[in-house]
Amino acid sequence: MSTVASSVEVPAGLHLPIYMDNHATTAVDPRVLEAMMPYFTVKFGNAASRNHSFGWEAEQAVEAAREQIARLIGTTAKEIIFTSGATESNNLAIKGIAEMYRERGNHIITQVTEHKAVLDTCKRLEKHGYRVTYLPVKADGLIDLEDLKRAMDDKTILVTIMAANNEIGVLQPIAEIGKLCHEKNVLFHTDAVQAVGKVPIDVIADNIDVLSLSGHKIYGPKGVGALYVRRRNPRVQIAAQIDGGGHERGMRSGTLNVPGIVGLGKACEIAQQEMKAEAAHLTALRDRLKNKLESELDYVHVNGSMEHHLPGNLNMSFVYVEGESLLMGINDIAVSSGSACTSATLEPSYVLKALGLGDDVAHSSIRFGLGRFNTQVEVDYVAAKVIDVVKHLRQLSPLYEMVQDGIDLTKIQWAAH
């Protein structure tokens, strides 16, 4: 497949390629790296070594990070458990609760647009005799609270619904979901990886019992995450999935990744201080990108509710354009396409299909993930480049030409070869 030639000029001082895939991962903030560095070299102790100053120093750093994370989500340091990242946090929360509360019930409720770390964990539990209800979502990506109410029964022990979707950036009504759960005496877990540090989250006000978060989505290091586990009203108990030295209140054994934990703590501290200003900045950049694309191109639409949305997310479908060709044409911009990002296949994204999009529209979708280090100059270049490439590809598209001529594609009988 040949790359589409583009006539868009690169402004002086703009460095290519441009990174706009901040939902996949973020660059480590220089302030985070600076906080971590000593713990690789001079302060290298094991936080579980209680007999000397090297261990004490490491333990102090870990406890300080617990405080920083707890402050960001409105809880206490004792309720933070360290893990290797969001996938482990989700596995520990869901499997740990399922095992611990088995005598009370075997029913779990989730939604079809969850991250694979939740869906595949639920599928594993189904093999072990648990019942799982997968709630549908509406066309805007939100669940229907009435569906959730109807799905609950006397055997329901856990509801796990993500705070913000990683593909379409839609924010679920987690406070209302948590309230429903508490009325029914059901535990509520949320995969808040994409939401923490970007929108305000308060585990008490939002009625959250267990929450997963990760370092590398908030300008911290990869390979470190945390799990909030509520200690009162209700006290949540979780069966360990990794056995060993009884670290992390017996819930997660293993030598702690001290530099990573220090970095996660610092990233949370920065997020807490700068979240409001950063959200305003990212919302302005995102709306600028959206407005430029919509003003120059027809047959484009935003996927997911724009009213309940992450500041830096824009997932758009460019109908009558093949997503892979579009990606090839904008190969100096790092974004994600509407093909499954979780596998090597070119299946359309299950999240977009759950919104009711057809395969062709899902395939034509691009996720722009704006972040802390993106600039207005980058946004303007990306908009110009995408517009240029989409127009060029549509000139080659017979379907687009037919639509321009007023032909209704749904009425056409395509002849088989």
Active site residues per annotation: 341
Residue 364 CA to residue 400 CA, distance in Å, equals 13
Closest CA to 241 of 95, 83, 90, 78: 95
d(CA 9, CA 388): 11
CB 47 within 8 A of CB 55: yes
Instruction: State the sign of the Cα–Cα–Cα–Cα dihedral 237, 238, 244, 248.
Output: negative
- Cα separation, 298 vs 399, whole angstroms: 14
- Helix (H) or strand (E) segment spanning residue 190: strand 187-191
Please identify which residue in the block is written with the tokens 């022990």. 157
d(CA 174, CA 34): 34
Q: Which positions ≥6 away from 73 have C-beta within 8 Å?
A: 192, 196, 201, 202, 203, 211, 213, 228
